[in-house]
Amino acid sequence: MSVAETLQQQAEAFRVRYQAVHQQIARVIVGHDDIIHGVLTCLFVGGHCLLEGVPGLGKTLLIRTLAQTLNLQFNRIQFTPDLMPADILGTNMVMETPEGKRVFEFQPGPVFTQICLADEINRATPKTQSALLETMQESTVTLGGKRYDLAQPFFVMATQNPIEQEGTYPLPEAQVDRFFFKLLVGYSSREELSEIVHRTTRGVNVCPERVMDGPEILRWQQLVREVVLAQHVQDYIVRLTLATHPGGDYAQPVTNQYLRWGASPRGAQTLALAAKVRALLEGRYNVSFEDVRRVFLPALRHRVILNFEAEAESMDTDQVLLEILAAVTEKGDAAPAPRTGAEAESAARHA
């Protein structure tokens, strides 16, 4: 069997197993295909996911259903203003030994799991939110000078409500950047809402089957990283990321006009890994430009910050990013275009 045939078989096997998980989730969740694909993309690259939407759209149900589909440990943390870091990470407690001595013993918190649902994450104070920084970046917890490793694979799946401001605290940029995708959960269509009512008001409970475990997920995560990313496609990803940096050499006019900060290197890494998952789902072992474009918004919408002018003109992040995506061409051989006087002045202000 040739190398090409082997790679094709691996891609097909991944697609079959991916669809198996998707089908079990779809038994419970009606519609929201893009959101399900986004969550599963995070799963198969080892990234964390932030779901934003108004109450009652099924964000928490989606994550709970995913946990039921996977043979992984699952804990849910309900974030509230009085939640403390120790309530998440755990604490050292004084315990008495059989010999009568008192010693400190570490009692793990609910973050010691494999799927951690941070429900309504923006209801906790910044001090408590920051307790997840180390776990999301390094999959470890450090307490009392001792470092504890979390079981692998490890995912943080968080939800937040964008419209309720009283009693909420915006997530720090350092934490938002650690989420692989930010997915915006919208309303259901007429047909989907009818199906939701049909399923939920007749006493029918559907329990998804467990179809995948941790070791298999880790194998697929490794396969994703082996997908070929050609140099010209990688350069396209790099230029897209640089195009979000106001005042930079590759900044577009819309960038300098509406953005205060651009995407971090994590943005480029996210584009590359998410595009690799899309390539495998299309039965290919190499990334295309279209794969990159399809994951552009969820990968970068939480990694750029609008300026006051954008807010005054009611521009949202997705609008700005779509204009950047349309402006950056696939061919990047030419040098950056010279700036106009206004663009040069804007770049100087950012510098």
Residue 347: pLDDT over 60:
no
Looking at residue 44, what is its pLDDT? 94
> Tens digits of per-residue pLDDT, 188-233?
888 988 888 888 888 777 788 899 998 999 999 999 999 999 999 9
DSSP 202-236: TT----PPP-EEHHHHHHHHHHHHHSB--HHHHHH
Looking at residue 299, what is its pLDDT? 94
Average pLDDT, the chain: 86
Looking at residue 1, what is its pLDDT? 62
- The fold of 227-351 is Helicase, Ruva Protein; domain 3 (1.10.8)
Looking at residue 345, what is its pLDDT? 46
Residue 163: pLDDT over 80:
no
What is the mean predicted confidence (pLDDT) over 124-145? 89
Between 9 and 38, whose confidence is greater?
A: 38
Looking at residue 236, what is its pLDDT? 95
Looking at residue 170, what is its pLDDT? 84
Domain 1-226 in CATH 3.30.70.1170: no
* Cβ-proximal residues to 188 (8 Å cutoff; 6+ apart), any chain: 30, 31, 32, 57, 196
Whether the ω angle into residue 265 lies within 30 degrees of 0, i.e. cis, is no
Closest among 239, 254, 250, 243 to 323, alpha carbons compared: 254
Please report, for the chain, the start and end positions of each structural domain, with discontinuous segments joined by +. 1-226, 227-351
What is the mean predicted confidence (pLDDT) over 272-294? 93
